[in-house]
Structure 1
Amino acid sequence: MNPIRYAACAVALGFLAPAWAINKCTDANGKVSFQDAPCAGEGEKIEVRPAIQGATPIQPSASPVKEGVFGASWQRKNYLQAQGIPQARAAIERNQRECTAQPHAVATAGPLRRGNLPSGNQFVQESAAKAADDKAACEARTEALREQLRVLERELAAMP
């Protein structure tokens, strides 16, 4: 590195304002000592910062900042209209397609054909219970997706 880069790095490091924590500890005899580790007995933590001339913290403005034409609310509204709501509707439709595509019936071909199984067979009962559980899970997922869609639509309706 050339000397200009070294100088720039040194200046940059000089502007960093590290803070050190120093603990003021008092022992049983009343003797005061300063250390960087927490005190074993009584003590207080003192925060030490180097003095930097001319550095003052920026105070937040008292008046609220007016949002520009393409501000955060415009971006959110645009997102809801272009992507959020259409994607939520597509998710509902996709979930419904997946639910109807799931095989809920007992196999109708091969050795496990319904006609070959005696009534009350455990396989048939387990299959029916699994199908009912799957259907309930699909309905719950569809309702959760519909609720998310309603939330997005209410948010869009409330925007100016």
Structure 2
Amino acid sequence: MKPIHCAACALALGFLAPAWAINKCTDANGKVSFQDEPCAGQGEKIEVRPAMQGASPVQPGTSTAKEGVFGATWQRKHYLQNQGVPQARAAVERNQQECAAMAPDTAVAHAGPLRRSTLASGSQFAQERAAGADKDKAACEARTNELRNQLKSLEAELGKL
């Protein structure tokens, strides 16, 4: 049989045994030894059971140890430097570009059959269009301010780390 097969068989047999007997023996000089055969002189029998059967989980204690090199603080700082802050800046810039693209198209207002010059001043069409543009502009400004506040909080957190 190959050595790997022997080791696997011995390991399997080890898991099948419900308990092992170990004897703690003391010789005439007072030297303590452990063996699987019964002691010739003084000794006591110790029952050893596999750790998996009666093991109770150890509760992690409150550790006052220092954080490791790649601990939670380092990970958060690394995230903020490489992803959090750059993505927040990109979101602000992208929002500003979208707001600029949403600006009312003045060429449409001056072209076609509904030219500004043919509309009566204070017409409903012009008022609705202006009100819609103001509403969109206010929404864009609010979103931009929200994104800027998020960016400032991420930068402040990064500054503290």
CA distance in 1, matches of 2:85, 2:146: 14
What fraction of aligned residue pairs are identical, expressed as a percent?
66
Q: Which amino acid aligns with 1:81?
A: Q
CA distance in 1, matches of 2:59, 2:103: 64
Alignment partner, residue 160 of structure 2 = 158
Report the TM-score, using the length of structure 2 for normalisation. Answer: 0.61
Which residues of structure 2 form unaligned runs of 5+? 1-51
Alignment of 1:68-79 (within 5 A): 68-79=68-79
CA distance in 1, matches of 2:82, 2:53: 51
CA distance in 2, matches of 1:140, 1:149: 14
Deviation at 1:64, TM superposition (A): 3.3
Q: 131, 134, 138: which is aligned to 1:132?
A: 134
Q: Name the count of aligned residue pairs.
A: 110
Q: Which amino acid aligns with 2:83?
A: Q
Deviation at 1:113, TM superposition (A): 1.7
Looking at CA atoms only, which structure, 1 or 2, has the larger radius of gyration? 2
Residues 69/150 of structure 1: CA separation in 2 closer, same or farther (3 Å cut): same
Residue by residue, what CA displacement relative to the aligned partner does 1:131-153 show, whole Å, maximum 9, x if unpaired? 11011001000100000001101
What RMSD, in angstroms, separates the aligned Cα atoms of the two structures? 2.2
Which of structure 1's runs of 4+ aligned residues deviate more than 4 A?
Answer: none
Which residues of structure 1 form unaligned runs of 5+? 1-51
Q: 104, 111, 114: which is aligned to 1:112?
A: 114
Does 2:75 align with 1:59?
no
